[in-house]
Amino acid sequence: MVKNYTDAQLLNKVKSLKSFKSLPTGYWILGVQSENDAFNVFDDKFYLFNNDKFILVTSGTTNAGVNGLMKYDSYNKDGVAVIKTNEWYYDVWKYGLHRGKMRALRQVRPFLISRDGDKDKLVEEGISHPVLCGINFHANTYNLANKEIKEIIGGWSLGCQVVNNTPKYVQIIDLVQPQKVVSYCLLKEF
């Protein structure tokens, strides 16, 4: 699991990135990817901010699970999508439905992604390109009344950013839904 940070540490880090322009004026999401990157386990964190004000933190994954890393052939022969870390993605999501079933944030602008196709159970970044390929922000269940916090990713991420704490996920979606677009910053644990 990702170590704990103060609000100031997180804000200083996101402001230090080359892709930083300014803090979004409304809600935005910060993902922090675990340095350990346990295979098929929800071991990352998502922070919700409103401009520079911390709102909440929850667990989740910024990496693909077993289906993405080991069984990607059926949807992309080059491998699973891996989002480039230590980058800002401004106005990348808007409110909608994931697979037509779940309230979510849907990708509307490109992410810098590479493809990991070596099936070695490790998520590895390569040379990244801007791609619009359905990398959404969603929960790990279609039942948004579910309170169980699952540990195993399974098929819930093929590159999507996925929360495994449904009550906190619902809080995030309720808060960001009225916004036209939502920005995202993805950090590697530091």
Please spell the DSSP secondary structure of 18-68, one letter per residue.
TT-----SSEEEEEEE-SS--TTB--EEEEEEETTEEEEEEEEESS--HHH
Domain assignment of residue 2, yes or no? no
Domain assignment of residue 160, yes or no? yes
Averaged over 43-54, what is the pLDDT? 98
Domain assignment of residue 61, yes or no? yes
Percent of the chain whose pLDDT exceeds 70:
100
Q: What is the pLDDT of residue 115?
A: 95
Domain assignment of residue 183, yes or no? yes
pLDDT, one tens digit per residue, over 137-159 is 999 999 999 999 999 999 899 99
Domain assignment of residue 1, yes or no? no
pLDDT, one tens digit per residue, over 52-94 is 999 999 999 999 999 988 887 777 888 999 999 999 999 999 9
Percent of the chain whose pLDDT exceeds 90:
87
Domain assignment of residue 26, yes or no? yes
- Average per-residue pLDDT for the chain: 95
Q: Which domain holds residue 157?
A: 7-188
Domain assignment of residue 109, yes or no? yes
State how far the Cα of 110 lies from the Cα of 117, in Å rounded to an integer. Answer: 20
The upper half-sphere exposure of residue 123, i.e. CA atoms within 13 Å in the direction of its Cβ, equals 30
The string of DSSP letters for 115-150 reads: EE-S-SS-----S-EEE-S---EEES-S-TT-----
Q: What is the pLDDT of residue 127?
A: 95
Domain assignment of residue 80, yes or no? yes
The upper half-sphere exposure of residue 55, i.e. CA atoms within 13 Å in the direction of its Cβ, equals 19
Domain count, the chain: 1
Q: What is the pLDDT of residue 33?
A: 97
State how far the Cα of 166 lies from the Cα of 184, in Å rounded to an integer. Answer: 19
